Amino acid sequence: MSWQLTTLNAGLRLLAKPRLARTPGPEDAARDLDHHAPLFMRQPIHLLHLRRPGGLHWISAGRCTPRQVIFYLHGGGYVSGSPRTHQGVMARLSLLSGVEVCAPDYPLAQEAPFPAAFDAVSVAWERLRGLGYAPEQVVLAGDSAGGGLALSLLAQLCARDEAPAGALVFSPWTDLAMRGESLRRNAGADPFLPVERILELVEIVAGRGRRDDPRLSPLYADFPGCPPVRLCWGESEILCDDGRRMAARLRQAGARVEVETHPLAPHAWPVFDGWIPEARATLRRSARFVQEVLGDTSR
């Protein structure tokens, strides 16, 4: 573990985790992330961010291969974040892979109840298809809640025989039924996320919906004809078991699953690119995965 990661974990434990534990509500969480994202989510030079009609954001930081795209869904617990807060990690992934990122807006839970976020990304997928992108030219991606949302969309696309080239997710939140044992096992070890707020967050996000609805919790979805999937999670995260059980379910469905874990990296550590070398290393490996699946036309 690098000294930078040691320092980051100490700072998260001292400052970020207590702040998340006492944040009054989702509106405050959204304002906090909007304010702090430019400080801790560093951006590569020459970042290009274009917002086009239809709620689609196009993000890159260098030359990109035409007619290929990463369809990236931002994290933030469904109550915070946007393509702009997460543009740093998206741009770095684009730069390393040579593939442009398309990031849709989706409504936060306090703005519209479940399944509004899922419905919005489904519509965004149709808009991307309407621009002429075939499924095999697209990789789904996301972090945290966005990673779970990407996997829920993947399940829907697999069910209608419209699977993308692959999927890439960082620390995905896949089980809002909260059946993962790591919620208890890692409550003290996780340097970032306060487990005592998870039930409250689930109630805000799920509303009256079933917690194991596959549109909300992809751990309970089916994945017929699933393409390759890359999952990354930290072993000390409270959401560790969300990633571990998701990998097992995808393998059960017959998917080729690539897993990267880290014993001490915090939740969704690639968003800290530019601060810790572990983030850049994970993004490099993820970029190679993107290039590999987009180059594989044999499926």
Paired tokens of 88 = 């740093």
Q: How far is CA 229 from the centre of its chain?
A: 13
Residue labelled with tokens 């919620």: 183
DSSP state of 151: H
Question: Which of these is catalytic: 60, 82, 144, 171?
Answer: 144
Count of positions (residues) in the chain:
299
171 is catalytic: no
Peptide bond into 115 cis (omega under 30): yes
Helix or strand holding residue 152 (H, E): helix 145-159
Give the integer Cα–Cα distance in Å for 280 and 11. 19
Query: CB within 8 A of 189, min separation 6: which ones?
Result: 236
Please, which contacts does 27-33 make with residues 24 or more away whose CB atoms are closer than 8 Å? 27/110, 29/76, 29/77, 29/79, 29/80, 30/76, 30/79, 30/80, 30/81, 30/108, 30/110, 32/80, 33/76, 33/80, 33/81, 33/85
**Residues tagged active-site:** 144
